[in-house]
Amino acid sequence: MAPSQASYAPSLDNLIKSFNSQPLEASIESLIFLLKRRQVKGDECARATAHILRQVVAKSKWHDVDQLLSRVQSAGSRLVRAAPLEPVIGNIVRRVLGLIRDEASEDRNNADDVTSEAASDIQTLGPSAPPPLPRPVPVPIRPGPSAISAGMQVSKSMFNLLSVADPGDSPATGASTPLSQAQPASVHALRSEVMDGIEEILDEINQADDQIAGFSDIQIHPGDYVLAYQPTRSVERFLVKAASKRRFTVIIACLDSPNSGAAEPPYATLRKKLNTAGVNTINLVSNGLMAYIPRVNKVIFGAKAVYQNGGLLVDSGCCIAAQAAHEHLKPVIVLCPVYKFCPEDPSDEVSRGELGTPSSYVSYANGPGVDALEVENTVTDYIPPELVDVYLTNLGPQTRHHLASILADHYKTEDIGFSLQLGEP
Amino acid sequence: MAGEGNGAPSGAPATQDGPKPKSTPPPANSTGTPTNTSPEKLTPAQLKAKAKAEKAARRAQVKEARAAAASPATPTQEKGAAGTDTKGGKGKGKQDVQQASNRPRPSVSGRRPSMPIVEKDARSGIPESFSHVPMAKRIPMSQAHKDVHPAVLAVGQQMATFALKDSISRLKATLLAFRKVIESYETPKGNSLSRHFVPHVLNPQIEYLTECRPMCFAMGNAIRLLKGKVNKFDIDTAEDEAKEGLLEWIDLLINERITLAEFSIARNAAQSIKEGDTILTYGRHRLVEKTLLEAKRNGKSFDVTIIDDPYERSGQELAKALRQAGIHVLYSPNLGGLRPKVAEASNVFLGGEAIFANGSLHAASGTADVAMAAMNAGVKVIVLCETINFDRDRVSVDALTYNEIDPERNTADCFRLLFDVTHDKYITGVITEFESGGGNSPAQAILALLRKQEDPLIA
């Protein structure tokens, strides 16, 4: 919900700023702390994860690709464990791992290609990052096709699996690839390239909302009644963008407890923006939505994550909207940037939903109530894929039948279960 | 009747209390004097001094009613107003004859000019797409039409303020108020009850009630039956006999269609609860509560999941009541996580306001979402509903056909409808007082049954 985002956003920004000055371990710990207290959630998890992994790449000690992978994996799995219901964290970790593998294999395969294009691409680096160097590295050439090298990487990570017990030390084993003998220069180059890659991921995260909003005039037609369920920032941007081109009506619904929005009606800023653009808004304060769906042309909400079967993790209540719209054959449009696609299936935990604080519904001042009630306030929902019509990503609209190709483009199979590969942090 | 004590929701029996010592009239009497003059000019010359005395009594009563409205309408004051009706009622009938000619629309003529502005304000915030939906409104008692019987006035106020909320308690209060209207009715000379009562006495009451809050379908049914009953009297029927018949009929209706119905529905539905079941329900509905408590009394052990509406929170009361009876209750304050919760339930029990001719259920907003989720999860959805709530004349395919706007949330900032419509494909069965248990007969079957036996006792 928008107001609370505003309240904790500065703390995250401060945290990200502090990453540069703090030791790595302290940064990770403070982020884990925020994650555990659910003070960083949703889209911000992605940003925070990317930032912290950038620090991991920049600051931690590593001498070869294996070590780097293992560092990222261990930091990543700690973050994932801190917030098990924020799959976005895992996605970013996987993206970074895939990035490292790509860079490493590029190094290996194109070792002759000394004039790496990366050197020219690099613009800014973190202060702790060494200046980018061209790579005059005589890495031993692996003569096989890339498929073989990929296979070797899989075996590498399995060796990592065995060397978990001592991840701090170099897990260099006899089976290590020639990269383990790589010179410091190569390490520097890899470091900078990986950090560039992470910057790109961050850019992607930051631009995703705008890119999605670019599709708004395709999806929203003049005169539509659009039901926006608990509009997230992406949805808000989408609607505001659409409002600049179309005249329609937005029905905003949310599941907030009546107490929490006492100060001002919820989504006041969004409504103001839309109203000035000439778009009517109606704030629904209603539990059920079936009554309004006949009036509505389409339902829009943002997802917290998209699983590989097409199922969604969403704020609780969205499921009601999706279900009601589905029954009335109204399209359900889900805004989900590509970085929210998880190469996983939803766990039981996900489909049961996360429990939030009951105190906004049953006050602790109400003694008999507290005694008598076993309150279950579910704050996340799982939406099965059948209920969703359009997945609107920053790469364009998708249907659930083609999600596999997106996943294949963005993740490496060996990284999918990364958090399981490492036991203890 | 076994359920007599059970049947009365808290607000309902206010009108039942007969003549009661008046609550002290608040000092705000002077505010009302302007409207008081209106009956004066209508008084024809041929009325004798006796009529004047009656008028004085009536005036005092109007003042009192107004005072009750001016201060926040507390039940005791309303009771006081209701209690006086037997005295004023006699004059009322006469007054009615005289006014019959110059009463184009009672709802308008009796108003103060300030009222329309207030009215407009209340509806002006409603978004255009929902502007056709009616809304309850509080009419100050002083602005009600003077033909409105004090007992009906009180009921109207209670409905407008949602002190009487669900269809059955509204129906019951209305019937009891009409009982008073009939008691105090006197057929004017040269008229007969069967011709005069409905157009000149009953209709203004109904109009007033409808203005306070759109009538529920049970009230519509009862009023239709009542009018039919009145029309059936032979034109020569003695007045006392007719009145007696009507009063008896109302008692019968209350007993059979409300009290007994509630009892037998609870009994039937309780039979369908099995040992170890998990029953899921939405909000708090009288019949569901009765059913669960009844099943517990029968010695069954089962769990209850209550899904609540955060804007009503009536489910909390239900949770407390059930917890006191020793039933394990899981309480969910909103519809979040509905699918997994519904999937774990063995039965879903829902109460309703009305069932339409196409079998769809008119019930508190959110019911349809619960029913739909349950049906999709393969869980039985059982609706408990008295047959008086079945409306055989209306068909509603979506919730915007017949609905009400929440009078407290009626602007674009904050908007809410009170009801939604559950399509009959989401309902496994309906339990009414007609059927013996099971809950497997669809609403359509009951409608057919109702059509067949328009109860010979009642109609």
pLDDT, tens digit, for every residue of B346-397?
999 999 999 998 999 999 999 999 999 999 999 999 999 998 999 888 998 8
- Most confidently modeled range among A81-85, A105-109, B66-70: A81-85
- Split into its structural domains, chain A has a count of 2
CATH number at residue A241: 3.40.50.10470
**Set of chain B residues whose Cβ sits within 8 Å of the Cβ of A258:** 310-311
**Set of chain A residues whose Cβ sits within 8 Å of the Cβ of B400:** 291, 294-295
Q: In terms of DSSP H, where are the helices of B110-254?
A: 114-124, 150-160, 167-183, 193-197, 203-212, 217-232, 239-253
Query: Does the beta-carbon distance from A286 to B416 stay under 8 Å?
Result: yes
d(CA A84, CA A80): 6
For residue B64, pLDDT beyond 80: no
- Most confidently modeled range among A42-51, A320-329, B14-23, B410-419: A320-329
Closest CA to A402 of A310, A337, A321: A310
- Most confidently modeled range among A244-258, B74-88, B95-109, B114-128: A244-258
Confidence of residue A334 (pLDDT cuts 50, 70, 90): very high
Say which range, A12-26, B208-222, B328-342, B402-416, has the weakest mean pLDDT: A12-26
Confidence of residue A226 (pLDDT cuts 50, 70, 90): very high
Percent of all residues in chain A with a pLDDT value above 90, rounded to a whole number: 32
Same domain, A257 and A358: yes
Count the helix, strand and coil residues of chain A and give each as a percent rounded to the nearest 5: 50, 10, 40
Contact A301, A331 (CB under 8 A): no
Confidence of residue B51 (pLDDT cuts 50, 70, 90): low
Query: Does the beta-carbon distance from B336 to A373 stay under 8 Å?
Result: no
| Residue range B18-50, pLDDT digits in tens | 444 444 444 444 443 344 444 444 445 544 555
**Which pLDDT value is given to residue B453?**
64
**Set of chain A residues whose Cβ sits within 8 Å of the Cβ of B417:** 286, 291-292
**Set of chain B residues whose Cβ sits within 8 Å of the Cβ of A280:** 127, 412
**Which pLDDT value is given to residue A250?**
93
User: At the fourth CATH level, which superfamily is domain B272-452?
Assistant: Translation initiation factor eif-2b; domain 2 (3.40.50.10470)
Of A69 and B49, the structure prediction assigns the larger pLDDT to: A69
Question: CA of B368 to nearest chain A CA: how many angstroms apart?
Answer: 6
Same domain, A330 and A297: yes
Question: CA of A281 to nearest chain B CA: how many angstroms apart?
Answer: 7
**Set of chain B residues whose Cβ sits within 8 Å of the Cβ of A265:** 413-414
Preferred mutation among A248, A287, A327 to probe B, highest tally of B CBs within 10 A: A287
Query: Does the beta-carbon distance from B336 to A381 stay under 8 Å?
Result: yes
Confidence of residue B448 (pLDDT cuts 50, 70, 90): confident
d(CA A7, CA B459): 64
Within-domain flag for A62:
yes
In this structure, what token pair is assigned to residue A216? Answer: 């708004």
Confidence of residue A349 (pLDDT cuts 50, 70, 90): confident
Query: Does the beta-carbon distance from B372 to A225 stay under 8 Å?
Result: no
Closest CA to B95 of B47, B61, B141, B143: B47
Say which range, A106-110, A281-285, B407-411, has the weakest mean pLDDT: A106-110
**Which pLDDT value is given to residue A7?**
43
d(CA A233, CA A302): 9
Same domain, A227 and A198: no
Same domain, A242 and A186: no
Contact B383, B359 (CB under 8 A): no
Same domain, A68 and A24: yes
Query: Does the beta-carbon distance from B417 to A291 stay under 8 Å?
Result: yes
3 state DSSP class of A225: strand
**Which pLDDT value is given to residue B348?**
95
- Per-residue DSSP letter, A375: B
Query: Does the beta-carbon distance from B336 to A316 stay under 8 Å?
Result: yes
Same domain, A168 and A222: no
Say which range, A100-114, A382-396, B133-147, has the weakest mean pLDDT: A100-114
Query: Does the beta-carbon distance from A290 to B320 stay under 8 Å?
Result: no
| Residue range A136-165, pLDDT digits in tens | 444 444 444 444 444 444 444 444 444 444
Confidence of residue A122 (pLDDT cuts 50, 70, 90): very low
Buried b (16+ CB within 10 A) or exposed e, B353-367: bbbbbebbbbbbbbb
The pLDDT of A392-401, averaged and rounded, is 91
Question: CA of B228 to nearest chain A CA: how many angstroms apart?
Answer: 34
**Set of chain B residues whose Cβ sits within 8 Å of the Cβ of A249:** 129
10 Å Cβ neighbour count for B150? 31
Question: CA of B447 to nearest chain A CA: how many angstroms apart?
Answer: 24
Residue with tokens 């699983």: A307
Same domain, A183 and A47: yes
| Residue range A163-210, pLDDT digits in tens | 444 444 444 444 444 444 445 567 888 888 999 999 999 999 999 999
**Which pLDDT value is given to residue B31?**
41
d(CA A377, CA A266): 20
Confidence of residue B273 (pLDDT cuts 50, 70, 90): very high
Query: Does the beta-carbon distance from B323 to A319 stay under 8 Å?
Result: no
Residue with tokens 């060796």: A159
**Which pLDDT value is given to residue A186?**
78
Question: CA of A215 to nearest chain B CA: how many angstroms apart?
Answer: 27
For residue A320, pLDDT beyond 60: yes
| Residue range B228-252, pLDDT digits in tens | 989 888 888 888 899 999 999 999 9
**Across-strand partners of B382?**
B349, B429
In this structure, what token pair is assigned to residue B324? Answer: 């006191």
In Å, how far are A28, A59, A414 from A74, measured between CA atoms? 11, 14, 15
| Residue range B71-88, pLDDT digits in tens | 443 343 333 333 333 333
d(CA B367, CA A390): 27
The pLDDT of A52-79, averaged and rounded, is 89
**Which pLDDT value is given to residue B65?**
55
d(CA A286, CA B366): 8
d(CA B400, CA A11): 45
For residue B436, pLDDT beyond 70: no
d(CA A259, CA B236): 62
**Set of chain B residues whose Cβ sits within 8 Å of the Cβ of A281:** 412
**Which pLDDT value is given to residue A183?**
55
Instruction: Round the CA-based radius of gyration of chain A to a whole number and report it.
Output: 23
Contact A77, A419 (CB under 8 A): yes
The pLDDT of A75-100, averaged and rounded, is 90
In this structure, what token pair is assigned to residue B221? Answer: 């049914």
Same domain, A195 and A307: no
Whether ipTM tops 0.90, in short, is: no
**Across-strand partners of B381?**
B348
Least CB–CB distance from B403: residue in A255, A291, A379? A291
d(CA B169, CA B11): 8
Query: Does the beta-carbon distance from A286 to B419 stay under 8 Å?
Result: no
Within-domain flag for A251:
yes
Query: Does the beta-carbon distance from A374 to B329 stay under 8 Å?
Result: yes
For residue B172, pLDDT beyond 90: yes
Q: Is A205 left (phi over 0), alpha (psi -120 to 50) or beta?
A: alpha
For residue A264, the chain B residue with the least C-alpha distance is B413
Q: In terms of DSSP H, where are the helices of A214-264?
A: 216-219, 233-243
For residue B326, the chain A residue with the least C-alpha distance is A372
3 state DSSP class of B214: coil
Boundaries of domain holding A12: 2-210+413-421
In this structure, what token pair is assigned to residue A331? Answer: 């399209």
Half-sphere exposure of A81 (CA within 13 A, CB side): 15
**Set of chain B residues whose Cβ sits within 8 Å of the Cβ of A283:** 412-415
Query: Does the beta-carbon distance from B369 to A374 stay under 8 Å?
Result: no
Confidence of residue B288 (pLDDT cuts 50, 70, 90): very high
Same domain, A202 and A232: no
For residue B269, pLDDT beyond 50: yes
**Set of chain A residues whose Cβ sits within 8 Å of the Cβ of B341:** 376, 378
Confidence of residue A50 (pLDDT cuts 50, 70, 90): very high
Within-domain flag for A112:
yes
Question: CA of B332 to nearest chain A CA: how many angstroms apart?
Answer: 5
Q: Where are the domains of chain B?
A: 4-260, 272-452
Query: Does the beta-carbon distance from A286 to B338 stay under 8 Å?
Result: no
3 state DSSP class of B261: helix
**Which pLDDT value is given to residue B297?**
94
Same domain, A198 and A307: no
Element (DSSP H or E) covering residue A27:
helix A24-36
Contact A107, A119 (CB under 8 A): no
Buried b (16+ CB within 10 A) or exposed e, A106-124: bbbbebeeeebebeeebee
What's the longest Cα–Cα distance across chain A? 76
Q: Is B130 exposed, middle or buried (0-12, 13-18, 19+ CB in 10 A)?
A: buried
Within-domain flag for A24:
yes
pLDDT, averaged across chain A: 78
In this structure, what token pair is assigned to residue A394? Answer: 């920053």
Least CB–CB distance from A320: residue in B129, B335, B422? B335
**Which pLDDT value is given to residue A285?**
85
In this structure, what token pair is assigned to residue A404? Answer: 């596999």
Within-domain flag for A281:
yes
**Set of chain B residues whose Cβ sits within 8 Å of the Cβ of A346:** none
**Set of chain B residues whose Cβ sits within 8 Å of the Cβ of A324:** 368-369, 372
Same domain, A203 and A238: no
